[in-house]
Amino acid sequence: MQRREFLRLLALAAAAGASLRPERSIAQAADELYDVPKFGNVGLLHFTDCHAQLLPVHFREPNVNLGAGDAAGRPPHLVGDALLRQFRIAAGSALAHAYTFLDFERAARRYGKVGGFAHLATLVKRLRADRPGALLLDGGDTWQGSATALWTKGADMIGAQKLLGVDFTTGHWEFTYGAERVKQVVDKELAPIEFLAQNVKTTDFEDPVFKPYALRTVNGVPLAIVGQAFPYTPIANPRHLVPDWTFGIQEPRLQQLVDEVRAKGARIVVLLSHNGMDVDVKLAARVRGIDVILGGHTHDGVPAPTVVGRTLVTNAGSNGKFLAVLDLDARDGRIAGYRYRLLPVFANLLPPDPAMQAYIDRVRAPYAVRLAERIAVTEGLLYRRGNFNGSFDQLILEALMQAKGAEIAFSPGFRWGTTLLPGDAITLEHVMDQTAITYPAVTVNEMTGARIKEILEDVCDNLFNPDPYLQQGGDMVRVGGLTYACEPRAKTGRRISDLRLQGKPLEADKTYRVAGWASVGEGVTGEPVWDVVARHLRERRSIAPVKLNLPRLVGIERDPGIA
């Protein structure tokens, strides 16, 4: 797609929404944002963690993203004004809206929705037209996160990946469809896309399950792409879904593979990673010879790479909201220079690609009526992303406690889940955006106060352990009914205190009724969580602004990871 054609399409879409600056037209604003001059001789395009969102969405960035250990106060653990200052982004701008939660409702109404594969496809085509041979890499968490992905076992997203022109991908939530389904896709349905994962092996003989790397030559430059799937899949997700596979970081094997591809002539080595950014920063300091890490998992939209030695470490956000553009000037077997842009995909500024839009309409058509069911209307902002409870999480917790007569409720600290503005209708599709997993059973258990504290300590350590290699989960488990204090910088086992139920201290030896969902145990049965939440919302019809049940945070005053 040449620039002239791109501008013609923008002119046709000029009534679609607001520009980046009031005095600019839609076409001018889009050309200003998306005119990224080619640099060097190797182009890499990267997106990650789209979580099966084929359509444009709103997605609020976190106001709490605390780092632990050496990561505290450093990217990606900057939010709001601290992030804007670090990367010299003007407050109130379109980029400020894309990268932060600041003044979210007003900015979202001004700048519109983000992402959508049809709009992403338009941007990919434009950038590739200026970059012959540019590779498109998908960092995983692509086949899960929506109703249609769940109901088609990822097939809708696989078709979209292929039409978008993805060259390489890796995985995490993909594995929750089970080993048999993943192998079926990789072996029979995914081509020409290559699924790369050097760190997945069989439990018996430690044979590689997937291709570990691929060698390519781009404009005369030999390079290697090495895949790194999420290391803690059997811990964060049900082990029984991948019973015969092991994961892990596999640092020694990665070093061996980097040396191997170098020996085969690769001058540039790229790690397509789903480790999470803190893990990637540590990995870059310990494994020699990696030039670039294109990272995912933690959903961090970071405007510039973190440079570790000679390695560029990036993370490209989530929900199809961003497309990263990394241009390399490769000379004499090394990177002589680079240019990086993390481009927000504003649906108002990018016309939908006709072929991709037609595909999306076709795959969604069988489910359209069901997805569009209007369940309730929200009077407040509904979102999830952040270290602690989000407002949609709070609705889920309330639904669990009411439906199951529970005193306390737990909901997983998932990072995916779209955002709704005040006045929006809550449809079944929106409920599924928060709950669409293959192990959705709602459970009720009797737990002692001591066990409840133990669970909170364990999850908190997964999030705030100062060693990134020991951070094995998502955000903090969401808690309903129970209040507590959290000291993220404290030692393991000492971060949770002052647990109270209805103002009274939780008793260690007393038993409490606790509701939850998404158990990783095998054979767990129960009503799907989406049915529980949808029923709760239907009964209320109009959802007043939600009061968050947030922990009292201790010892993090003036941390740039909290606003």
| 3-state helix, strand and coil shares in percent for the chain, rounded to the nearest 5 | 35, 25, 40
pLDDT at 14 (0 to 100): 39
Three-state secondary structure call for residue 447: strand
Residue type, position 192, single letter: P
Q: What's residue 333's pLDDT?
A: 84
Q: Which segments of 260-392 are extended strands (E)?
A: 268-273, 292-295, 306-308, 311-315, 322-331, 334-344, 374-378
For 433, counting Cβ atoms within 10 Å of its Cβ (0-12 exposed, 13-18 middle, 19+ buried), the class is buried
Cα 357–Cα 358–Cα 361 angle in degrees, nearest 5: 85
Handedness of CA 118, 123, 129, 132 (dihedral sign): negative
- Would you state the pLDDT for residue 25? 65
- Candidate CATH numbers 3.40.50.11610, 2.60.40.1220, 3.30.470.10, 3.90.780.10; the one for domain 372-553: 3.90.780.10
Per-position b or e across 338-352, b if 16+ CB within 10 A of its CB:
bebbbbbbbbbbbbb
Nearest to 67 by CA among 407, 322, 300, 406: 300
Omega cis (within 30) before 192: yes
- Residue 27, pLDDT score: 66
Query: What pLDDT score does 17 carry?
Result: 37
Query: How far is 290 from 6, CA to CA, in rounded Å?
Result: 35
**C-beta of residue 157 within 8 angstroms of C-beta of residue 142:** yes
Which has the closest alpha carbon to 248: 47, 400, 470? 470
Dihedral (Cα; 543, 549, 553, 556), 10-degree rounding:
-20
Q: Which of 220, 134, 221, 229 is nearest to 186 (CA)?
A: 229
Q: Residue 378 is encoded by which pair of tokens?
A: 């929200």
In order of 181, 198, 333, the CA distances from 184 in angstroms are 5, 18, 38
Please say whether the beta carbons of 249 and 199 come within 8 A: yes
pLDDT tens per residue across all 563 residues of the chain: 455 544 444 443 433 334 455 556 666 777 789 999 999 999 999 999 999 999 999 999 999 999 999 999 999 999 999 999 999 999 999 999 999 999 999 999 999 999 999 999 999 999 999 999 999 999 999 999 999 999 999 999 999 999 999 999 999 999 999 999 999 999 999 999 999 999 999 999 999 999 999 999 999 999 999 999 999 999 999 999 999 999 999 999 999 999 999 999 999 999 999 999 999 999 999 999 999 999 999 999 999 999 999 999 999 999 999 999 999 999 988 899 999 999 999 999 999 999 999 999 999 999 999 999 999 999 999 999 999 999 999 999 999 999 999 999 999 999 999 999 999 999 999 999 999 999 999 999 999 999 999 999 999 999 999 999 999 878 999 999 999 999 999 999 999 999 999 999 999 999 999 999 999 999 999 999 999 999 999 999 999 999 999 999 999 989 999 99
The residue ranges of every structural domain in the chain are 1-35, 37-57+113-362, 372-553
Kindly indicate whether the domain formed by 37-57+113-362 is annotated with CATH number 3.60.21.10: yes
Burial class of residue 406, CB neighbours in 10 A (0-12, 13-18, 19+): buried
Where do the H-state alpha helices sit in 59-140? 80-87, 94-99, 104-111, 117-130
Amino acid, single-letter form, for residue 218: V
The phi, psi pair for 21, rounded to 5°, reads -130, 140
Length of the chain, in residues = 563
Residue-level pLDDT at 111 = 94
What is the Cα–Cα distance from 312 to 324, expressed in whole angstroms? 13
Element (DSSP H or E) covering residue 222? strand 221-228
What gap in Å lies between CA 260 and CA 252, rounded to an integer? Answer: 12
35, two tokens: 């005119």
Q: Which distant-in-sequence residues (6+ apart) come within 8 Å of 556 by Cβ? A: 66, 488, 489, 562
Q: Cβ atoms within 10 A of the Cβ of 514, count?
A: 25
C-alpha radius of gyration, the chain, whole number: 23
In whole angstroms, give the CA distance from residue 111 to residue 366.
Answer: 31
Q: How far apart are CA 32 and CA 16, in angstroms?
A: 17
